Structure 1
Amino acid sequence: MFGEIVAVLPARADDMARLAILLAQGEPIVTVIGKYNHGKSRLLNELIGQDAFAVADRRETVTLSDSVHRGVRWLDAPGLDADVGTEDDRHALHAAWLHADIRLFVHAAKEGELDAKELALLSELYADDARSQRQTVFVLSQVDQLADDAELHKVRNAIDTQWPGVALNEVSSTRYRKGRDEGKALMLEKSGMPSLRAGIDAALARVPQARTHEKALLFGEIREELAALLAAREKELEALRDTQRQQRLSFDRGLAKVIEKVSGDIETMLNALGTDHASVPDTAKDAYGITAGKLERAHIQIAYSRACIEIDGYLAGQGVIGLPSEQETVARALNTVMIAVMGVSVKFRKDLRRMFCTAAGRERMQREFTHYYELSNDRKALTARIGRSESAVDASKNASASLNAMEGRA
C-alpha cells in the first residue's frame, strides 16, 4: 500500500514514512539534534533522570538510539558534522524530519554564534513547525563553560543578531546533576533544566493535536498531488492516443490518394494498348530477338515499377521501409515492404489490372501497406509509449485508492 504511493511519488517517501509513524499512534517522540560534542546525550540523560545514553569526550553516538521514559520516546542522534562521510548527518536529519514530534536543537554556548549549516537547518525546522505544527525548541547548552554572565550575554546577542527574537533555553547539564546530587535547589534552578522540562511538558501536551493536524496535512497534500499527477497522466495518454489516431488517419488518406493516382495512371496506360502481345509466349527462335511480346512486357514492367516507386516514396516518408526482423530473409535486397506486398515484377496486363484496376486489388494494397505501417519503428515506439502511459495512469489510480484506504482506517 505504501509502496504503491511511493512508486508514483518517490519524493514523498519520507512523508509516507512519517504517516506510518503517525498512524501507528506510538509514544510522542522527542529528538535532540545538533553538532558533535554539544552535550546532546548528557542533556537527554538529565531530562529523563537516568543514564540511558552514552556520554564521552570522544564520539559515542554513531546511530540513532532511543529510550522510552514515562510514555515518551527520547531519541538521540549522531552529531551533525561528526562524520566526514556524512553518514551521521544523514541519521541526524532523518531523526529530526521523520521521527520527531519535538526537536531539541542543541547549540553549545562555548561555540558562540551559529555556523551557516546550523542556521540553514534551524530555518528549515522553524518553517516545518509552521507547516506541520511539530515543535522545535532551541537549547543553548553547556552555559557553565562560559567565563561569566557577561560572556553569556555576548553569546545571546550574537545569536539574537543572527535570528532575532529566538527563544533560548539556557541550560547546564553539569550544574543540574551537581545540584540534584548535592540537594542544592538554587543550583538546580540556575541550571535551566526545570524551565526546559516545563517547556517540553507543555510541548508534549500539544503533540496529539499537532499529530492530528499533520496527518490531515499530509493526506491532503499527497491526495492533491496524486490527483494532479493522475490528471496530467490522463491528459498525456489522451494526447498520445490522439496522435496515434491522427497519424493513422493521415496515413490512410495519403496512401489512398497515392494508390488512386497510380491506379489511374495504370488504367489509362492499359486502356491505350491495342492487341495483347504480352500474353503470347515467345518461341525458341525468338530467344535472342526483339518481339512485340517482349516490348509490351517491358512496357508493363516499367509502368509497374513507376507505380511502385511512387508508392514507395510515400511509404518511406512515413517510415515504412524494411520488414520486421521476423520476416527478413537471407536475401537482404528482398527485405522491403514493397516487395513483400507487390512482388518483384509484373509482365501481363491481367495481373496489372487485378492489382491496380479492381476495388479488391486497391483494398488489398491499402490493407497490407497499413499492416506494415503499424509495424514500423515509429508506430511501435508510439504504441510502447501509450502502453507505458496507460501503466502510469493505472499506477496513479492504484496509489490514490491506497491513500484513500489508509485515510479511511486512520
Structure 2
Amino acid sequence: MLPGRAGDLARLQCLADGIEPVVTVVGKYNHGKSRLLNELIGDDIFAVADRRETVTLSDRVHRGVRWLDAPGLDADAGAQDDSHALQAAWRRSDIRLFVHSAKEGELDAKERSLLAELRTDAGRTKRQTLFVLSQVDQLADETELQTVASAIGAQMPGVELNAVSSTRHRKGVEGAKKLLQERSGIPALLAALDDALARVPGARAHETALLYGEIRAELAQLRAAQRQSLEALRDTQQRQRHDFSRGLKAVIDKVGGDIAAMLDALGEDHAIVPDSAKDAYAITAGKLERAHIQIAYSRACIEIDGFLAGHGVIDLPSEQHTAARSLNTVMIAVMGVSVKFRKDLRRMFCEEPGRQRMQREFGHYYERSGDRQALASLIAQTEAAMAASDKASAALDQLEERA
C-alpha cells in the first residue's frame, strides 16, 4: 500500500525482532572498512585483501553487538554491492561508521550525498553516524592530516572526525605498545562507540514511535483519499443513471405522445384487413396503412436510438452477438425489426407496461455499456484498495503489538 515506506517497514520488522544493537561500516571499496572492524572487535573475523573482498553483507556478534561489514560503494558496475551497502546502512544498523580513507583527500560527490542523507536521518530517527577517517598512517605527517581534515570539514560543516589507523593499532597490540595503540585512534573510537551504544535503546524507542506514527498517518491519509474517490465515483454513477433514466423517459414520453396523436387521427383500421392473392401486386389501403405505421415506428426508434447513442448504448454485449452483425444492436434486441398493426404500436409506445418495458430493458443495456462497465470496474478497484488499506492497518497494529 505504501511502496515508498518499504524501507521503514523493513526497519520496523528488524526492531520488532529485538535484535542486538547493530554497528555497520559503510564507505567506498578499499578504504579499510574490514580491517577497521577487525581492530574494533579484536579478532581477524572479516576478510581483508588488497583486491575487492567483501561482496555480500557479512556480520558477526561480539560482546552483545552485531558488527556488519557492507560491500563498498561503487564496488561493481551493476550497483548490486551499492544496494547491499545501502540496505545495511538504512535497514539494519543502529550505528553507522562512515569510513573514508585519508589518502583520498576530499569526499567525492557520492560520499557527500550519502553522508548528508545519513546525517539528516540521524536528526530524524536518532540513529547515529560516526565519521571515521581511516588509514591516516598513509599520510606524510600531521600537517597533511590537518589539511585533509580541514577540506572535509569545509565540505561537511560540523562533522566530527575520528582519525584512525588500523595498522598502527595492530602493531601496538602485537608489540604491547600502549602509546602506539593510543595514537592509532582506535581506543578513542571504541569509547565513542560505547557512548553511542548506550544511546541505542532510547534511539530505537524514538524511531519506533516515529515510524509507526508516520506510517499510520500516511495510511489514514491514503484511506481518506480512497474514501473520497469512492464517494465521488458512486455519486457519478448515481447521477449518470438518474440523468439517463430521466432523459430516456422524456424521449419515450415524447415519441409515445406523437404516436398516440397519429393513431387517434386515423380513421378506419385498414391494416388489420389481410390482403388477398389478387392484391399481391396491387396498392391497397391495408398496405398503405401498414407502411404508414412502419414509418412512424422507424421514426420513433430513430429518435430513441439517437438518445441511446449519446450515452454509449449501441452494441449488444459480446455474449449476445449473432452471426448477423446487423442484428447485434440494442435497438433490435429491445424493439425488434418492424411493426405492422396499430395495436402493436399502441402497446409498445402508448400503454404504460410497454413504456416501462422499454425503460427497464434499455436501462439494462445502459449498465452493460462500455463506459458504465469501466466505471463499475473502477469502483470495484477502489473498494478493493480500501479493503487492502484496512488490511495494511491491521497488519501494522499486529506488528506494533508484537514489538
TM-score in terms of structure 2 length: 0.99
Distance across 1 between alignment mates of 2:345 and 2:395: 63
Determine the structure 2 residue equivalent to 1:177. 170
Could you tell me whether the CA contact under 8 Å between 2:316 and 2:330 is conserved in 1?
A: yes
1:209 pairs, out of 202, 215, 223, with 202
Q: Is 2:7 aligned against 1:14?
A: yes
Determine the structure 1 residue equivalent to 2:398. 405
SS in 2 for 1:32: strand
Unpaired runs of 5+ in structure 2?
A: none
SS in 1 for 2:133: strand
1:216 is displaced (CA, Å) by 0.5
1:277 is displaced (CA, Å) by 0.4
1:166 is displaced (CA, Å) by 1.2
2:229 pairs, out of 226, 236, 249, with 236
Distance across 2 between alignment mates of 1:336 and 1:302: 19
Deviates more, 1:275-284 or 1:81-90: 81-90
Determine the structure 2 residue equivalent to 1:139. 132
Q: Which amino acid aligns with 2:312?
A: G
Q: Which amino acid aligns with 2:34?
A: S
Q: Is 2:279 aligned against 1:286?
A: yes
Q: Is 2:52 aligned against 1:59?
A: yes
Distance across 2 between alignment mates of 1:200 and 1:168: 13
Determine the structure 1 residue equivalent to 2:296. 303
1:312 is displaced (CA, Å) by 0.2
Could you tell me whether the CA contact under 8 Å between 2:272 and 2:286 is conserved in 1?
A: yes
Deviates more, 1:392-401 or 1:260-269: 392-401
Determine the structure 1 residue equivalent to 2:340. 347
1:358 is displaced (CA, Å) by 0.5
1:409 is displaced (CA, Å) by 2.8
Q: Which amino acid aligns with 1:82?
A: A
Superposition map of 1:193-204 within 5 A:
193-204=186-197
Could you tell me whether the CA contact under 8 Å between 2:13 and 2:399 is conserved in 1?
A: no
Q: Is 2:148 aligned against 1:155?
A: yes
Superposition map of 1:5-404 within 5 A:
8-404=1-397
Distance across 1 between alignment mates of 2:16 and 2:23: 17
SS in 1 for 2:76: coil
Determine the structure 2 residue equivalent to 1:4. none
1:165 is displaced (CA, Å) by 2.3
Q: Which amino acid aligns with 1:44?
A: L
- The percentage of aligned residue pairs carrying the same residue is 71
Determine the structure 2 residue equivalent to 1:5. none
Could you tell me whether the CA contact under 8 Å between 2:301 and 2:331 is conserved in 1?
A: yes
Instruction: Give CA deviations for 1:296-329 in whole Å, capped at 9, x if unaligned.
Output: 0000000000000000000000000011111111
Distance across 2 between alignment mates of 1:10 and 1:291: 78
1:407 is displaced (CA, Å) by 1.7
Distance across 2 between alignment mates of 1:85 and 1:403: 34
Q: Which amino acid aligns with 2:230?
A: L
1:19 is displaced (CA, Å) by 0.5
SS in 2 for 1:280: coil
1:88 is displaced (CA, Å) by 0.9
1:406 is displaced (CA, Å) by 2.0
1:408 is displaced (CA, Å) by 2.5
TM-score in terms of structure 1 length: 0.98
Instruction: Give CA deviations for 1:207-264 in whole Å, capped at 9, x if unaligned.
Output: 0110111110110011000000000001111111111000000000000000000000
Distance across 1 between alignment mates of 2:39 and 2:398: 42
Distance across 2 between alignment mates of 1:141 and 1:85: 26
Q: Which amino acid aligns with 2:348?
A: M
Distance across 2 between alignment mates of 1:184 and 1:402: 56
Distance across 2 between alignment mates of 1:81 and 1:332: 64
Equivalent pairs, count? 403
SS in 1 for 2:87: helix
Instruction: Give CA deviations for 1:71-92 in whole Å, capped at 9, x if unaligned.
Output: 0000001111111111111111
Q: Which amino acid aligns with 1:356?
A: F
Distance across 1 between alignment mates of 2:374 and 2:318: 15
Instruction: Give CA deviations for 1:379-406 in whole Å, capped at 9, x if unaligned.
Output: 1111111111110011111111121222
Superposition misfits of 4+ residues, deviation over 4 angstroms: none
Deviates more, 1:122-131 or 1:395-404: 395-404
Q: Which amino acid aligns with 1:42?
A: R
